[in-house]
Amino acid sequence: MRNRDIQNTVAVFKREFLAYFNSPVLYVIVVIFLLAATGFPFFFSRILDSEDVSLTERFFVWHPWIYTVLAPAVGMRLWSEEHRLGTIELLLTMPVSPWQAILGKFFAASCVWLIGLTLTFPIVWTVCYLGDPDMGPVISGYIASYLYALACLSVTCAVSAITRSQVVCFIVSVAFCIVIALIGDPGVTQTIVSTTPSWAEGLVRFVSYFSFMDHFYELTKGIFVFRDVLYFLSVIVVTLFITNQALRAKRA
């Protein structure tokens, strides 16, 4: 990227990131995320009542379902808000390319989840205090969690560029995230495999491969699998490309 391109992207990033701080969105989303991410392990997974101090099945297991709702809540305003305020035409006629605007907005929203995940450090400290956990799954779990959040966010970004309504964007994005999670959930996959003919098992496994959940669980095992990281990065690139095409169609 040229210096001018970087400057334009950074300018959009600053504008969008400061907009989160100037509204209650950032604070509400981060607080709800922290309450859910740290509350579920204590009240539902009973992390303090078990000798197993692994975070994989007691902490990270809740993250995909939290992101299913909260990631669309963060991303629904990215372009729908521009439509509502009538500023999208002004933004697209400025000397800023759609890609620069997309990357700036996406990076700003990504920082919201970076802040949220960083603030969950007390639960890691608690687990380290209670026992001696393997830090490999903890590190890979955080990477998997962040990639999952960005994938849901990028999907919402694409939907937001297509629709003018934040409510519609939120509902469609949540529905898509739920479907893409369920088709790869081990329990759902096993249930479908057990109730379908043997010849369909391969098809079910193939469809589940495209689920966020399938790749998420692989990364939380403490093994850094480049294939799974590449999958999430590919989802992000493809959905941002769809966002770019939708904005170019509006700009034409």
Half-sphere exposure in the Cβ direction for 70 (13 Å, CA): 29
pLDDT of residue 234: 94
Q: Tens digits of per-residue pLDDT, 48-101?
A: 555 555 666 678 888 999 999 999 998 888 887 776 666 666 666 667 778 888
Closest CA to 82 of 176, 171, 177, 169: 169
- Which carries the bigger pLDDT value, residue 110 or residue 26? 110
- pLDDT band, very low/low/confident/very high, at 214 (cuts 50, 70, 90): confident
pLDDT of residue 47: 58
- Which carries the bigger pLDDT value, residue 147 or residue 55? 147
Closest CA to 186 of 165, 204, 198, 160: 204
> In degrees, to the nearest 5, what angle opens at C-alpha 147 toward C-alphas 39 and 217?
70
- pLDDT band, very low/low/confident/very high, at 45 (cuts 50, 70, 90): low
Most confident among 28-37, 134-143, 183-192 (mean pLDDT): 28-37
pTM for this model (two decimals): 0.87
Distances (CA, A) of 206 to 177, 184, 201: 18, 10, 9
C-alpha span between 211 and 184 (Å, rounded): 5
